[in-house]
Every structure is written in structure tokens, then in C-alpha cells.
Structure 1
Amino acid sequence: MSVIKVAILGFGTVGEGVYRTIHSHAEELQTVLGKKVEVAAILIQNKQKERDIAEDVLITSDFDEILKLQELDVVVEAIVGKEPAFSFLKKAIEKGCHIVTANKEMFAHHGKELQILAEEHNVSIGFEATVAGGIPIIQTIRQLLKINRVHQIQGILNGTSNFILTEMREKKQSFAEALLLAQVNGFAEADPTNDVEGFDAFFKTMILSRIAFGDEPVWNDVELEGITSISNELIEAAENYGLRFKHIARISKEDGQIKAIIKPALVDQSHPFYHVEGVQNAVNVHSNIVGDITLQGPGAGMFPTASAAIEDLVYVCQNAPSQKSLDKSSAFKIEEKKKEVKEYWLVHGVKDKLLHPGITWIDQTSSGTYIIKAEKKDVEHLALQQKPLCYFSILGNSEMINKQSLAI
């Protein structure tokens, strides 16, 4: 074929961004792929709405019309929700099309099935746009896995939550005020549940897990918590120690098991996420040879996400279909059980400073709020004893804690 024919499913922010980028970067795409890329069809919901789309493009709300096209090479999916996106992509694969998706919820639920189906039909799947917007983290991990083996991934994967926490700290806004500003600016949906309760970051973490470890944790075992519990009082207490709240997804493989934690944490100035502000995303990968790599960039928006989808378009057209992206053979096996270690924590809501052999009380930041050093199990035990106590791990080398700590 001398032309690569593309269909775009959905013409919202991402879908329109993909369409506009294909047109604005037509020469670059032809140079890289050796063929012209043309948008043959676009699937939309409302055919009456005016859109700036070329007249020779099929505009339809019926996916079957797209499937009937004789020449169709790649389907780019930018629809919200598991269905009908999953059903559409299955049919596209069965037709023999490569697919590119930006749909993290759908791919977290059905990525394995789509990968198996793609291998059966000798086509490729691109899904860089499902995680961290314009940050090429999936391709980076794929490159690392050729020789390196990943130990742990940490990520700020939701720009809305990061924006809210930044506004609360910098402008002393309440959670409700910062959320409203995020909605006004288009960073948060009218229903922000997926963002502020951590579900969006959860879906992205499951996708990263399959790339890094070839499998994912049991979903019900994942520690998942959003940012709705973070108050101005907590942010101020953390600032006294130069600490900042971030909503961080952490995933690792220990003792043969994949473990994931997706919840607010505190970072000090030594941590690579300390200066990640606003709607920015960041991902830190720790592997056995290269050590730590951190990628940072815009996590959402028309062109950052479209950029990832376009790179995937090039990827699926250039690469052999049977990729090892979801193959368990790439998982890094850790046979030695990781020992529990004492960490620094900020605990809030303490009623009684109980004597506990596993807990060192470092400092009291405000009424009922303390810095402690303890193993996780001891912090969890304290929280059970003194409900509704909340606690947050402190990530980094914590040198400032050592310098500022006071005997209590």
C-alpha cells in the first residue's frame, strides 16, 4: 500500500488532536513511514454538530460503516468508557487493522484479551496514550526491558489531582475551591470521581504493571485512596518540614508478588516528584542496571495525548505484531523476600501518644499531628487503635527530618 488509511473513533479532545496532528505533520509522517497517512473515517456521536473536517472523510455515527471500508489500516480509539470501545476494537482487529487506544479504563480491563486477539490476527496494538499523556513511559520501559529488569515504578499519573494539591498549597485554597478551578480550566470533569478518588491513576497503574512485570496485582488487594482527605491543616503541617503532598502510584514485585499502592504521600526535596506541579505527570522507573530514570511532562490535553497516539501510530505501522509487552516472560523475578523497614510517616488525628516498641515519636507538628518512624504494620496498628487516624508515608532521604527532629 502507498497510503496508510486511518479511522478515528471519537472526536473529542483527543480524537480532534489526532486528526489535526496527522494533517499538520503529514510530511514528517510520510518521511518516517515512507507512505502518506490519510484519515479515511471519523466516528462521532452527533452528526449535526459542525466540525472542521475535510469533505472526503467519512463522518458517521455507525461503526459498521467504517468496517465496510475496503482500505483501512489503523483504527485510533479515543472514546470514554469500556463500551462500546472494547467491542469496536475487537471488530477492528478481526478485520485485520492495527489499533491505537487512549482509553485507560477500557485497556486496563480488556488489554490482555485485545493483545491475545491481536496476536492471533497478526496486528499490533499501541497504547502509549493510555498512561501519563505525552510522556513516552511505555516505550521507555519496553527499551529498558531488553536488558534491564524493573524493580519499582512510582508515578504521578493524574494531572487533575496534582493540580488540586498544588493550588491548595500555593494559594491556600480549600479542596472544594481548587476542584472548582480545575473544572473551570477544563482539567476536571463535571463528575471528578475518577480523578480525585484515584481510579484514573489505578487504571494506568495496572497497565504499567503489565508492561513492567508481565502481570498485575489482584485488583481488590491494591491500596487505593484518593486526595479528598487532604486538608489545608495537613498541607500546612507538611510544609513545616519542607514536605509536599503528591498523589503517587507505586508498584513493585516482592517475594514473587506484585504489590501496588495508589494514595497520597509526602515527598521531600530529594525526591524527583518534589517539583512536579500543576497538571504535570511524572514517572520514576528503578531498574537493576541503569538505576533511576524519571520522565516528566504534560499528563493531559489535546496535543500531549495526541502526540502519544501519533507516536503509537508510527509504532504499530513499523513494528512486528507479536510484541512481548504483556508477556509474563519479561517479568523480573525477585526470589528474596524484602524485609520490612522503618520509614518516616506523618500521622494525623492522634488522640493518645501511646508507648509502642515499634514506633519512634520524632516530632509534633501541630495538635494531633506527629512525625513518627515505624514499620508500616505498626502504623496500621496505631490507626486501628485510634480511628479515624490517617497516615502518609514520607518518600525521599528525609535528611530534613533528621536535622529538625526533636526529642519529645
Structure 2
Amino acid sequence: MSVIKIAILGFGTVGEGVYRIIHSHAAELKKVLGKKVEVTAILIKDQEKKRNISDDILITSDFEDIMKLDKLDVVIEAIVGKESPFLFLKKSIERKCHIITANKEMFAHHGEELQKLAEKNNVSVGFEATVAGGIPVIQTIRTLLKVNRVFQLQGILNGTSNFILTEMREKKQSFTEALLQAQENGYAEADPTNDVEGFDAFYKTMILCRIAFGEEPNWEEVQRQGITSITSELIAAAEKYGLRFKHFAQINRDGSEIIAVVKPVLVNQNHPFYHVEGVQNAVNVCSDIVGCITLQGPGAGMFPTSSAVIEDLVYVCQNQLSDITNSIGFVSDDKKTQGELEYWFVQGVGWKVPKGITIVDQTVEGIFILKAAKRDLEQLKNNKEVLCYPIVGEITINNFDSVTV
């Protein structure tokens, strides 16, 4: 019987989930691939830790032991870090193995090099699990790009931040209280910096840029802001207008230029992300033919992420090279320019604001809704005590007098 031999690098949440699914769905995999899928080796960190792994599998803490195996078809990487996983996958490709990764930081930094090396060696790269857990966003974009021109992507890409914002609103918790709850539930690490400061969402955004447009912006020019500045007071004030804070990634293509931001925004009830709560992720893909499609689902956890890895396993074993990109410039009709007026939720300004900015309403003392062009608002943002959050979509305000200064 023909067998597909698999090595799993890492046996944490994702690695163990992949191992368990390969066993529980062995019949389904054989039916789809026409071959039995067999885990032949697992790379672990602690040799002393007891694990529920079959005795006939090589368990090692030395990657070179895996490279010495007589037969190896696919290497699945699910470990923490950037440089070591990259080197492991690079060696795997050079050995003519297909590779699959769930490591968004590593792939954001080194994905392009790995894909080029894979193409040279006629093997495939699977990376669905790097972006939105169990949501098949990368496969969806690949399908659209066969004909459609994708011009905009929006996403809630970090389940931890979304959970914290939901807890703060629903349970009237402080940021600190909601973060502690996320840590107790296993959604946030002991050091939550990557999640709450927007780095995790940033890496995923750069990966989406590459798959949708074949390139990415200069990382230094991408606005990245986390959720640590959002207070219970701001959330309560936003609720009065039916608005909810969401940590938001957006990518637009303007001709040859890619514009990306990762930051908190406010959305109204008409926005597809308004009801995306807890650890859920969502991605909205806009293209010229089909219009806008929203994908929503669990963005983290053992089985959602492992599911994405298993789907990639099928993908790479069918040897579908992942080199489809959108190289055609297209401008979104919804794209804001520096001079177009937008609504902003602003804390830390008084009634005296620069010329060109309209005070629409005061929610509570010190928190205003302003109408201004982005270029005019920059005058306020020079003051570090002023916090500005864009409102995505329309906002309805009753019984107010607009004041233009």
C-alpha cells in the first residue's frame, strides 16, 4: 500500500491536534488522497514529558534525526519561534518534502523565500493555519483570484483581542480584568504583547497582502496599533451610539501601491463585523465581480487551527503550487483619501479644535464625535494625550447641533 509519511514539528496545542485528527479521520484522508497518511516522526522539546503517542513513531528533540529517515513526504511545523522553524522548513524543502506551517510570525518574515525555494524544488507550501485558524480564507482568495480582482480585505484577525473587547463591553470589565480572563481561558499567553499590541494581527495582514496582491507594503509604513488604549469609559460611550470597538486590519490596493493598517475602529450594526464576538475571527474579501464575501469562524484553538493544517495536507499532497497572485492594480470605490471626510471617536480634546474639524456630538465629558478629513485630524494626533478611533460606516445621532470651529 502506498503511504504518505508525515513528520510533525512540535506537539503543543496544534501539533497534538493534527496528530489526533490524522488518526480519527484516517479513512477520510485515504479516500481523498488515495493513500494512507502515517505520522512517522514528531519533534518535541522535552523528552521527559509523557505524551499519548504511538510507540512506533520516532520521538526526538533533534531535527536531524527526522532528516535521516528513509522516507518522508510532508513536514508540518507547529512550534514557537522564527528562525529555527524557518531553517527546519528550508531543509525540509531541500529534501523535496512538502511543508505546512501554522507559524504566522515566521511565515510573515520568511514565507516568500520558502515559497520560492519550494517552487524551485517542485514541492508545495501550505499556510492556511497562519491567518485565521479554521477559516479557509487563503483558499477562498486563491479561488477568487482565478478571475476576480481582489481590491480590499478587512479582518478581525486576533481572537484574543476580540475576546477582551467583548468581555469589556458585555461584563463591564476593565482591560486588566478582561486580559486576566483571557489568560485563564487559555486564549492569551503569560506575555500577551503580540496579541494586545497588534503584532499577531500585523503578521497575518502581511501574509494576506502577499496572497492577494503578490506583494506587501513597507512594514515600517504600516500603521499598527493595539487595544491597550481602549478603556471601559470609551466602550460605554460608544455603546450609546450603537457602536462597538473591533481590532481591525484593512488592506487596499491603489494602482501599484498597497495600503495596510492594523488598528482599533468602531463599527455600527450594519457592518459585517458588528456581531463577531469572543474569540471569533472574520475576514471580508471584496472583489470586482462577486462583490464582498465575509468569512467567519473560530480563529484559535486546537481543532480549528488543526483543521486548517489538515486541509493544507490535502492541498500540498495534490501538489498544487501556491503561486497564484493578483498582479493587476485595482482601486476600491470605497477607499478613503486623505481629503475625504470621516467620522472619528476622539478622547482628550476640548471644544476648541483646529479649523476644518466639525464637532458632531459630545458623548460624555472629554469624549467627542468629530467629522474631519484624515489630514486635518493629524493636527490633533500630534498631541499624545489625544486618542482617535475611526468609525467605519454611517452613524446616526439624534438631537444635536453641529459645531464647526
1:120-167 per-residue CA deviation (whole Å, 9 max, x = no partner) reads: 110000000000100000000000101111111110000000000000
Cα distance in 2 for partners of 1:3, 1:387 equals: 60
| Among 325, 329, 337, the residue aligned to 1:333 | 329
CA displacement at 1:406 relative to structure 2: 3.7
Cα distance in 1 for partners of 2:401, 2:336 equals: 30
1:132 corresponding residue in structure 2: 132
Asked if the contact 2:149/2:330 (under 8 Å) is kept, the reply is no
1:363-399 per-residue CA deviation (whole Å, 9 max, x = no partner) reads: 1111121111111111111222x4411111111233x
Matched, 1:391 2:382: no
Cα distance in 2 for partners of 1:119, 1:405 equals: 60
Asked if the contact 2:253/2:331 (under 8 Å) is kept, the reply is no
Q: How many residues align?
A: 400
Asked if the contact 2:222/2:260 (under 8 Å) is kept, the reply is yes
1:324 corresponding residue in structure 2: 323
Give the SS at the match of 1:84. helix
Runs of 4+ in 1 over 6 A off after TM superposition: 335-338
2:402 corresponding residue in structure 1: 407
5+ residue gaps, structure 1, are: none
- For 1:185-334, list aligned pairs within 5 A: 185-321=185-321, 323-325=322-324, 327=325, 330-334=326-330
- Change in Cα spacing, 1:145 to 1:404, as seen in structure 2 (3 Å) is farther
Amino acid at match of 2:392: L
Cα distance in 2 for partners of 1:372, 1:19 equals: 52
Amino acid at match of 1:331: S
Asked if the contact 2:78/2:103 (under 8 Å) is kept, the reply is yes
1:174 corresponding residue in structure 2: 174
Asked if the contact 1:129/1:306 (under 8 Å) is kept, the reply is yes
Asked if the contact 2:249/2:261 (under 8 Å) is kept, the reply is yes
1:326-378 per-residue CA deviation (whole Å, 9 max, x = no partner) reads: x5xx223037997442111111100342251x222111111121111111111
2:353 corresponding residue in structure 1: 354
Amino acid at match of 1:370: F
Cα distance in 1 for partners of 2:6, 2:349 equals: 58
**C-alpha RMSD of the superposition:** 1.5
Cα distance in 1 for partners of 2:244, 2:197 equals: 19
Amino acid at match of 1:397: E
1:5 corresponding residue in structure 2: 5
Give the SS at the match of 1:354. coil
Cα distance in 1 for partners of 2:330, 2:256 equals: 6
Matched, 1:370 2:352: no
2:99 corresponding residue in structure 1: 99
Give the SS at the match of 2:246. strand
CA displacement at 1:404 relative to structure 2: 5.8
1:33-82 per-residue CA deviation (whole Å, 9 max, x = no partner) reads: 01000000000011111100011111011111101111100000001110
TM-score (structure 1 length as normaliser): 0.95
Asked if the contact 1:197/1:228 (under 8 Å) is kept, the reply is yes
Give the share of equivalent positions with the same residue, in percent.
68
Cα distance in 2 for partners of 1:59, 1:93 equals: 21
Amino acid at match of 2:73: D
Give the SS at the match of 2:83. coil
- For 1:17-28, list aligned pairs within 5 A: 17-28=17-28
- For 1:108-147, list aligned pairs within 5 A: 108-147=108-147
TM-score (structure 2 length as normaliser): 0.96
Asked if the contact 1:256/1:335 (under 8 Å) is kept, the reply is no
Asked if the contact 2:174/2:232 (under 8 Å) is kept, the reply is yes
CA displacement at 1:224 relative to structure 2: 0.4
Asked if the contact 2:33/2:314 (under 8 Å) is kept, the reply is yes
Cα distance in 2 for partners of 1:241, 1:265 equals: 14
